[in-house]
Amino acid sequence: MTGVTIPPECLRTIGDLAERAYPAECCGLLVGCRDVDSDEVRITRIVPSINLLAEETPRRFEVDPALRFRLMRELRGGPEEIVGHYHSHPDGPAVPSARDAEMAFEPDLLWVIVSAGAGGATETAAYFPLPEGGGFSRAPLL
Ligand SMILES: [Zn+2]
């Protein structure tokens, strides 16, 4: 099973962004490295995105595709790549929603979900989508 490493400062930043976006969802991209030998994903930094859906539907999110495209170009040829994305669940648990499962069509992309209330983030968890719309498998945070 793939383990995931997130530096504490990245976790803190995601928590802060979740609190600031509350009661809407925050979202963004996770940049890092895949270690093929140890089957580990090491997150090196997070890149916040505007949530394209924050205005109309506060309980959903969409990462700006232009940001993703720019970032892919920037990282091309280097050791880092886009390894996943994060979003917050205002007043909800850090588990994927039914809507999240519908959107999980990229099996290599890690999902980090942070549970957030008015007082800040309470829990963070990481998941990988299972093939064929089979939901998610939780990835241990190392
Ligand atoms: Zn969600």
Tens digit of each residue's pLDDT (9 = 90 or more) over 77-132? 999 999 999 999 999 999 999 989 988 888 889 999 999 988 888 899 999 998 87
Please tell me the predicted confidence (pLDDT) of residue 54. Answer: 82
Considering the domain boundaries, does residue 49 fall inside one? yes
Considering the domain boundaries, does residue 137 fall inside one? no
The bridge status of strand 27-35 relative to strand 81-90 is antiparallel
Backbone phi and psi for residue 119, each to the nearest 5 degrees, phi listed first: -90, 5
Instruction: State the distance from the centre of ligand 1 to the C-alpha of 60, rounded, in angstroms.
Output: 7
Query: What are 81's strand-pairing partners?
Result: 32
Instruction: State the distance from the centre of ligand 1 to the C-alpha of 44, rounded, in angstroms.
Output: 22
Considering the domain boundaries, does residue 122 fall inside one? no
Considering the domain boundaries, does residue 123 fall inside one? no
The per-residue pLDDT for range 4-16, each reduced to its tens digit, is: 999 999 999 999 9
CA 25 to CA 32: how far, in whole Å? 23
DSSP annotation string for 52-104: TTTTT-TT---B-HHHHHHHHHHHTTSS-EEEEEEEEEETS-SS--HHHHHH-
Instruction: State the distance from the centre of ligand 1 to the C-alpha of 84, rounded, in angstroms.
Output: 14
Nearest to 64 by CA among 54, 79, 75: 54
- Residues in CB range of 6: below 8 A, 6 or more apart: 43, 112, 124, 126, 141
- Is the CB of residue 133 less than 8 Å from the CB of residue 104? yes
Instruction: State the distance from the centre of ligand 1 to the C-alpha of 99, rounded, in angstroms.
Output: 7
CA 6 to CA 4: how far, in whole Å? 7
Considering the domain boundaries, does residue 140 fall inside one? no
Please tell me the predicted confidence (pLDDT) of residue 16. Answer: 94
What is the count of structural domains for the chain? Answer: 1
Instruction: State the distance from the centre of ligand 1 to the C-alpha of 63, rounded, in angstroms.
Output: 12
Instruction: State the distance from the centre of ligand 1 to the C-alpha of 37, rounded, in angstroms.
Output: 30
Please tell me the predicted confidence (pLDDT) of residue 1. Answer: 60
Considering the domain boundaries, does residue 21 fall inside one? yes
Residue 35 belongs to domain spanning: 3-117
Scan for tokens 């929603």, then name that residue.
97
Instruction: State the distance from the centre of ligand 1 to the C-alpha of 77, rounded, in angstroms.
Output: 31
The per-residue pLDDT for range 40-89, each reduced to its tens digit, is: 999 999 999 999 988 877 678 999 999 999 999 999 999 999 999 999 99
User: Residue 93 maps to which CATH number?
Assistant: 3.40.140.10
Task: Tell me if residue 61 falls in helix, strand or coil.
Answer: coil
The per-residue pLDDT for range 26-45, each reduced to its tens digit, is: 999 999 999 888 879 999 99
- Is the CB of residue 28 less than 8 Å from the CB of residue 17? yes
Please tell me the predicted confidence (pLDDT) of residue 35. Answer: 86
Task: Tell me if residue 125 falls in helix, strand or coil.
Answer: strand
Please tell me the predicted confidence (pLDDT) of residue 118. Answer: 82
Instruction: State the distance from the centre of ligand 1 to the C-alpha of 87, rounded, in angstroms.
Output: 6
Considering the domain boundaries, does residue 139 fall inside one? no
* pLDDT band of 2, cuts 50, 70, 90: confident
